Amino acid sequence: MAMSTAERAVPRAAWTLVVPVKVLARAKTRMADGAGRHREALALAVAGDTVAAALSCDRVRAVIVVTDDPLPAAELAALGATVVPDEPDAGLNPALVHGAGRGRELHPDTGVGALSADLPALRPAELARALDAASGAAEAFVPDAARVGTTLYTARPGVPFAPAFGGGSRAAHLARGARELVLPGIDSVRRDVDTPADLRAALALGVGPRTAAVAALLPEPIIRH
């Protein structure tokens, strides 16, 4: 279908997304009882599906992965992400700021976003919808499905990148003046996975192939109500 003249006249904002990936030995600890020996494989699969979906989004110029684990570093670089080590080694937000700095060096004309690595159902079109909404604010964020945490935080070009991830990050981002984006049709952007219940909800939305393959190895009570 051809675009209208009006659609062609409106440029789409481009974004660089920073995705923090934990060392696998420390990832998905709340899944340990259910996932057992598949816990690290699940964490890697979820990150892989998240990064693959982000790279497939036409609003995304680049994905910067911040990790100190060589296994996800290699696998996510093979997907097309730029991988940088967590040189500050001072926690999540400093790691994101470090990755954002690298992103702005490489792509200074793009906005910068921090995206959770725990979004296995992420759909490129839904991410595009969220990023388009984010382009209307200096800073913006998408709350998680529980409206307690944050799955996406963004800063337009030229705006200081100041994420506030951690416990109660929705409230923290609101307090900093970032615009909350609660839009219809972005469920996959909000569905992060930390617990078996989260995984079941993501599976109901439809996860990427890596997560689906590992989920098939998990005990039935973990993936079914």
* Annotated binding-site positions for phosphoenolpyruvate: 150, 166, 169
- Spatial strand order of the sheet with 179-180 comes to 82-84, 60-66, 15-20, 111-115, 150-155, 139-143, 179-180
| Rounded CA separation 84/139 (Å) | 24
Binding annotation: 150, 166, 169
Question: What six digits make up the tokens of 142?
Answer: 């998408």
| Rounded CA separation 82/62 (Å) | 8
| Rounded CA separation 19/111 (Å) | 14
The H or E element spanning position 75 is: helix 70-79
62: DSSP letter = E
185: DSSP letter = T
The 3-state DSSP class for residue 190 equals helix
